[in-house]
Chains A and B, each alone.
Chain A
Amino acid sequence: MKNTGCFFVLILIIIGFSKCYYNNEETLYADLTNSCDTTNITFKAKVVPVLKEHCYKCHSNAVAADNGAGIRLEDYVDVKLRLNRVYGAITHQDNFLPMPKDMTTKIDTCQIKIIRIWMEAGGLDN
């Protein structure tokens, strides 16, 4: 019986340590760290181009009522009002409808990072 117990513990050790990794964030996400320019992030200079590229086809003022469920993302006021929802959607978090709808994957991680940094800085109309 004790031999059975020893075998059980050995199996636990093997299973438990089978997913032992030696990762660090600087190496794992080096591309994101090195190539993404996160300096001088403003709404007009950095955030609007992202929205224009990925969101305006459904959420511009002209087409939002027909294609975007009435959700407009062209003016600062509209973006600021729905900022948390926009971020949850583009990062494909739980309880959010993944966006853009025409993409199965998320948009470029650098573009998401730009929006996050702008959001954390207060989401100003700058």
Chain B
Amino acid sequence: MDFYKKQRLLFLLSFIAPFIQAQEVNMLNMLDSIAPQKVQYAYGTFKSTRVLNGHSNERMPEGQLDVRIEHRFGLINQGYYEFFGLDQSNTLLSMEYGIKNWVMVGLNRASLDKTVSGFTKFSIFRQSTGEIVMPVSVSFLLETSVIGTKWLYPERDNLFSSRVSYISQLIIARKFNENLSLQLAPVWIHRNLVPAIIDSNDMFALGIASRYKISRRTSFNVEYYPVLSPSWNHAASYRNSLSVGFDIETGGHVFQLLLSNTTGMIEKAFITETTGKWLNGDLHLGFNISRVFSLK
């Protein structure tokens, strides 16, 4: 190679060299970015803020509003004349908002007993691996509900406090893998007014829920709420709530189709006032529709 060719080659290489060095730096940066993060949090333990009737550990992200419509038809064992319950319905309208990623608030209005309820749900722990190992996600739910129907006995001195109930629930959930999530949620229900002296104003139940992913956008959910400390009236008259259903996610919507022995969609109703027996066919078809809007 003659001298001038070498000069030209060196000249060209002088331009290329920085790029080679830059490429090496960029590749180092890429290695850093794909290196394992210090803490890996579990996401999507459940697809929605509800498993079916009850709350899941999930919260709305900051600045996002969830508009929910929940619908429960009548009893399917009423036969064709009532079109297997589809001629009757109970509804719930709900708006839920994420104040921060770790806390959300919501407002519900249910047609059953014309109940209005407000709640807050916040995260205490998040399931994670890596530098911080937390085997479960833990959230806490606080809810106050007020019955809105007219007084059954208007002749007596009825108190507003008699309409009010309170719910406190600890929600413990674990995402075992991409397919399976389980949740335990002990709950305390307080009713300001109960029928008899022998009834307890406080009731305790345990929410047991599971989600099994059967396809990319569909999962099968089961939810059971056994009452652990039934009051005298409850033990004689009522049943534990058991619901099964499917989550179907489509873009910004989550559809939940379910079959349940309870009409209620608020904790005070479906935990303490369920009367349906599965073996009798006292079941209600129902669905939940959730649409998320981003307000930020």
Contact = CB atoms under 8 A, between A and B. Distances in A.
Interface string B92-136: 000000011011000000000000000010100000000000000
Most B CB within 10 A of own CB, among A9, A24, A27, A109: A24
Contacts of A91: 154-155
Interface stretch (B67-75, B188-196, B255-263, B268-276): B188-196
Contacts of B76: none
A77 to B, nearest CB: 25
Interface stretch (A14-22, A39-47, A55-63, A68-76): A14-22
Contacts of A109: 155-157
Contact of A16 (B102, B122, B166): B166
Contacts of B100: 1-2, 5
For chain B, the bracket of interface size reads 20 to 34
A24 B142 CA distance: 23
Interface of A is mostly: helix
Contacts of B155: 91, 106, 109, 112-113, 116
11 contacts: A2-B102, A5-B122, A21-B162, A21-B192, A23-B193, A25-B196, A29-B156, A91-B155, A113-B153, A116-B153, A116-B155
Interface of B: 99-100, 102-103, 120, 122, 142, 144, 150, 153-157, 159, 161-162, 164, 166, 190, 192-197, 199, 201
